[in-house]
Amino acid sequence: MPHDPSFTPTQLAARAAYLLRGNDLGTMTTAAPLLYPHMWSWDAAFVAIGLAPLSVERAVVELDTLLSAQWGNGMIPHIVFANGVDGYFPGPARWACSALSADAPRNRHTSGITQPPVHAIAVQRILDHARTRGRSTRAVAEAFLDRRWNDLVRWHRWLAECRDPDARGRVTMYHGWESGMDNSPRWDGAYANVIPGDVPEYQREDNKINTDATQRPSDLEYDRYLWLVEEMKAARYDDELLSKTVSFAVEDVFVSAILSVACQVLAEIGEDHKRPRSDVRDLYAWADRFRAGVIETTDERTGAAKDYDLRAEKWIVTETVAQFAPLLCGGLPHERERALLRLLEGPRFCGHPDLAYALIPSTSPVSRDFRPREYWRGPVWPVMTWLFSWCFARRGWAERSATLRREGLRQASDGTFAEYYEPFTGEPLGSMQQSWTAAAVLDWLG
């Protein structure tokens, strides 16, 4: 069993706040100082959630920086590069966004793909904290909403229209990186069909920082990742061309569930803050559409959701955390939802007898694809624990939410704020001093 907690809640909160300050570049927070020295899209949303209890004003700056790099078509890119910072590959030159796409921002270097749309949740957490503060802090949060409302709606509209052009209720991804779960077993089949052509020479940076090969994707996987970038560049990052030409195209059920929740949350914010009725109506409609799209994928017996490979024209069935997408957005018939909760809490996931903590591993320990140390193929990710805990609280499952929070804090009490943890031993893995792990802890303790 894992050792006793090293830090008290007060000490842990202080360390987490100290970490975020240390990773702060002024107007953006690096995802992690060594491995990820820039701003990542969904990391930034979680970072803002962690900053909000410390400083609503600083949390607002984080989201402002991210949204200032939004593309003309509405996409929020998955990386906003920090000026003058090297040490990450692929960097801005490899993406070549502003040279290829009229939609790419001219004043910021970004990547050419996107990431899960958790940002509305961050906006809600900021507004929640602002409500408990003085008038000037509330004014900062209100001004942010006035300034960025249209950008947030444009972001959701781009996902709904450009990434679900046939209104099937599922978001299409053209790269595993867009899912946030880069090397999940979910994508093995789709990646196997990506045949890399002539990939321009490259030097990986990630395995110089994290030298344990069991924790990182292989070189062949990297060739495929980079070949997809070349395909996107050939299409000049044009949404319509990508759908026709990129070798990898999957409907991501987990991102679709997040989008449903995010649209619902943003619609509620819009109602509370008297935003245009047409925006609110669109947001509610998208929330319904993507919820229905998620539910349509579920297994009749277990309620487990699945992704769809558009290129191979077949469903992707894996035992990963993504199966539980319907628990985030709701919509399952009662009996099927109970079956899915039993699966989550049973021996294939949180109830597995060998787990150090009763938390959701990224891949089921009984799956043949399970690798306890490798990125999204087994380890427990604190940010996933936070997301499920938050969604469960929102859905009225207070006890389930509290259990995840309690176990998540026990896991994080070693104070390393690791990117992810070995599920059986609790060993911290990946990059240490990870901003979004510290952010999750701060929100839980806030």
- Which residues are CB-contacts of 224 (< 8 A; sequence separation ≥ 6)? 191, 194, 196
Q: What is the DSSP string of 37-85?
A: -SEEHHHHHHHHHHHTTT-HHHHHHHHHHHHTT--TTSPPPSEEPPTT-
With 60 as the cut, is the pLDDT of residue 369 above it? Answer: yes
Residue 19 CA to chain centroid, in angstroms? 20
With 50 as the cut, is the pLDDT of residue 1 above it? Answer: no
What per-residue confidence (pLDDT) applies to 247? 98
Residues 191, 248 contacting (CB under 8 angstroms) = yes
What per-residue confidence (pLDDT) applies to 217? 86
Q: What is the DSSP string of 340-357?
A: HHHHHHSTTTTT-TT-SS
172, β-bridge pairs: 251
How large is the average pLDDT for residues 218-228? 94
How large is the average pLDDT for residues 81-89? 92
Please report which confidence band the pLDDT of residue 443 belongs to, taking 50, 70 and 90 as the band edges.
very high
- Which residues are CB-contacts of 144 (< 8 A; sequence separation ≥ 6)? 60, 63, 64, 123, 126
Give CA–CA dist 118/255, Å, rounded.
Answer: 9
What per-residue confidence (pLDDT) applies to 172? 98
Helices (H), 163-209: 188-192, 206-209
Cα dihedral sign, 198-200-205-208: positive
What per-residue confidence (pLDDT) applies to 38? 98
Give CA–CA dist 142/25, Å, rounded.
Answer: 25
Give CA–CA dist 152/386, Å, rounded.
Answer: 22
CA nearest neighbour of 26 among 82, 68, 79, 77:
82
Give the burial string for 336-351 (b: 16+ CB within 10 Å, else e): bbebbbebbeeebbbe
Residues 337, 326 contacting (CB under 8 angstroms) = yes
Residue 312 CA to chain centroid, in angstroms? 25
Please report which confidence band the pLDDT of residue 5 belongs to, taking 50, 70 and 90 as the band edges.
low
For the chain, domain boundaries: 10-443
Residues 321, 391 contacting (CB under 8 angstroms) = no
Angle at 227 between CA 223 and CA 233, to 5 degrees: 150
E-strand ranges in 114-236 read 171-173
What per-residue confidence (pLDDT) applies to 225? 97
Q: Does 1.10.1040.10 match the CATH number of domain 10-443?
A: no
| pLDDT tens by residue, 343-367 | 999 999 999 999 999 999 999 999 9
How large is the average pLDDT for residues 135-160? 98
| pLDDT tens by residue, 98-121 | 999 999 999 999 999 999 999 999
Residues 141, 81 contacting (CB under 8 angstroms) = no
E-strand ranges in 187-329 read 250-252, 307-309, 314-316
Percent of the chain exceeding pLDDT 70 equals 99
Least confident interval from 214-223, 296-305, 418-427: 214-223
Q: What is the pTM of this model?
A: 0.98
Q: Which residues are catalytic?
A: 182, 419
How large is the average pLDDT for residues 61-72? 98
What per-residue confidence (pLDDT) applies to 4? 54
> Which amino acid, 242?
L
Tokens 């140390």 locate to 373
| pLDDT tens by residue, 125-142 | 999 999 999 999 999 999
Q: Is 197 exposed, middle or buried (0-12, 13-18, 19+ CB in 10 A)?
A: exposed
Residue 96's alpha-carbon distances to 93, 235, 417, in angstroms, are 5, 12, 33
What per-residue confidence (pLDDT) applies to 14? 98
Give CA–CA dist 418/427, Å, rounded.
Answer: 9
Average per-residue pLDDT for the chain = 97
> Which amino acid, 282?
D
